[in-house]
Amino acid sequence: MNFNNITKNVICWIIMFIEILFLCIGCSTTPEERSDIQSVNRPATIEPDYSGIVIPPNIAPLNFSIKESGQEYFVKIRSGKGNPIRIQNSTGNIQIPIDSWKHLLAENIGQRLITDIFVKNQNDGWVRYDSIVNQVSQDSIDSYLVYRMFGPIYNLFKKMGIFQRNLENFSEKPVLLNKLTQDNCMNCHNFWKNGTDRWLLHMRGGPGTSMLLIKDGKAQKIDLRTKFNGPAAYPAWHPSGDLIAFSVSKLRLFFHETGECRDVLDWYSDIILYDIPTNTVTTTPEISNPDRMEIWPAWSPDGNFLYFCSAPKIETFENPDKINDLAYDKIKYDLMRIGYDPINHSWGKLETVISADECGFSITEPRVSPDGHFLLFTGAAYSQFPIYLQSADVYMLDLRSGKWKKLEVNSDRADSFHSWSSNGRWIVFSSKRQDKIFTQPYFSHIDSMGYATKPFVLPQEDPLFYESSLKVYNVPEFTKEPIHISPQDLAKAAFSEKDALTAKLDPNVIQNRNNDKAKSAAPVKTP
């Protein structure tokens, strides 16, 4: 056998082996390891926009879709500690493994979370976009969010429900569906100190216009209507847990020919208090003045002040140029507060905190932070019902300095109803920024000085969820734990008359109202 031929064959086999080896290595190399990668000097476009945000260390994975054209996608999520998360697919829809996500966040509390995105283009070359950098907060968020969900227009309200979502994963469960209560309206779910051992919701129609009050896992139906007031709404729990402030209003829905077609006006409103131990409705003339419309109560955390919104009575806004017409777009509400002694049940001085004349817009939906330092409110061009108004924005009042500002979370669409987490470091609010129609919950971190971070939308398991969702998220409220009472038990209480209560009216209320009428009717003496 020719030795030279053997040597040549061996050399050829070695060369082929090396070529195959390098080819295999090249095929198995991830884009982050390639030397021929090209850089794009901008971040990739992703939806939802989870970029440049502060996130809770216990939040569910922020799944997203990469909106860049390509044949293949690779994502690496990393931080200073722990194993990076690597995801590669041909769709660009990034679903992050929940266990890996939780471990990565837990090991990097207070640190940066970096997302590297690579896209394979039509020429089989890989490009790398600028990294997306987020911050993992040291402050956890309350584990649950409770909201009402229904269709986008009023005539689809027949199908609605109250739902609770676990913010640490993607579990969503119904609290109560109105198919269990004769397709009625349900609203105003509200929780004492972000807990679920004492909370309430309201019903309209179906088994009756009433409140379901839940205490220690048991629900009771209570009719709050008295000779003084109709159905109640917009509840605010006193810190004692035994007293609830409500608005009692007469709302009217009407329509515009152009722009946002819907609008809501309050034709009259007062604020009442419901004392749970005595089953009694009461009020005071300062918060139920027949010459004013009072709405949206909110207690300070120490229980010593009741904040609310107030405007002159509806007749004040009649348009002199048009008979029987109303200058509805001139109705603006002031932010008020009144002192309260929870021991003696006595009232203090009525104060104007921010006047509509001073700020130039209508103030609604006040909510005080758990530490008592800040008050969130919604400002809009007019009205007490801002969710249909594109002008609606979220504002922050520093109760220590008296200074207020438009919060950093707003968009050019309606941003309104908001609530605080139990630690006062997170807020959730409703926004129509995506398409002007569907309201979704957005979260933002609030620091000790009252500054807000860029908001981000409620995470969903499906990265494309918001592209096809036809539901409105309404009245988002934080809770620290899940609601344990079942929808069936709530529905049973809604229909039960055995344990139902009808609230009593404090006799002083009628007496005070009659005294006010007598004073206004008395002739004025002239010297």
Tell me the CATH class for 144-510.
Answer: mainly beta
Which one-letter amino acid corresponds to residue 229?
A: N
What pLDDT does 455 receive?
98
Please give the Cα distance from 80 to 108 (Å, whole number): 7
What pLDDT does 151 receive?
82
Please give the Cα distance from 78 to 87 (Å, whole number): 12
Token pair of 85, please? 């998360």
Residue 106 neighbours by CB distance under 10 Å: 13
Residue corresponding to tokens 């609290």: 175
322 DSSP assignment: S
Contact 441, 147 (CB under 8 A): yes
Please give the Cα distance from 290 to 237 (Å, whole number): 24
**3-state secondary structure (DSSP) of residue 482:** coil
What pLDDT does 435 receive?
87
What pLDDT does 29 receive?
65
Token pair of 448, please? 């000790």
Please give the Cα distance from 396 to 389 (Å, whole number): 19
What pLDDT does 515 receive?
63
- The domain made up of 36-136 has a fold known as Immunoglobulin-like (2.60.40)
Please give the Cα distance from 382 to 326 (Å, whole number): 13
pTM: 0.91
Instruction: Compute and round to an integer the Cα radius of gyration of the chain.
Output: 29
Can you give the pLDDT of all 527 residues of the chain as single tens digits? 454 554 555 554 554 444 333 333 344 468 888 888 999 999 999 999 999 999 999 999 999 999 999 999 999 999 999 999 999 999 999 999 999 999 999 999 999 999 999 999 888 899 999 999 999 999 999 999 999 998 876 666 678 999 999 999 999 999 999 999 999 999 999 999 999 999 999 999 999 999 999 999 999 999 999 999 999 999 999 999 999 999 999 988 888 877 777 889 899 999 999 999 999 999 999 999 999 999 999 999 999 999 999 999 999 998 777 656 889 999 999 999 999 999 999 999 999 999 999 999 999 999 999 999 999 999 999 999 999 899 999 999 999 999 999 999 999 999 999 999 999 999 999 999 998 889 999 999 999 999 999 999 999 999 999 999 989 999 999 999 999 999 999 999 999 999 999 999 999 997 776 666 555 444 433 33
What pLDDT does 516 receive?
61
The full set of domain ranges for the chain reads 36-136, 144-510
**3-state secondary structure (DSSP) of residue 381:** coil
Residue corresponding to tokens 């309404």: 474
Under 8 Å CB-to-CB from 240, ≥6 apart: which residues? 303, 342
Please give the Cα distance from 394 to 386 (Å, whole number): 11
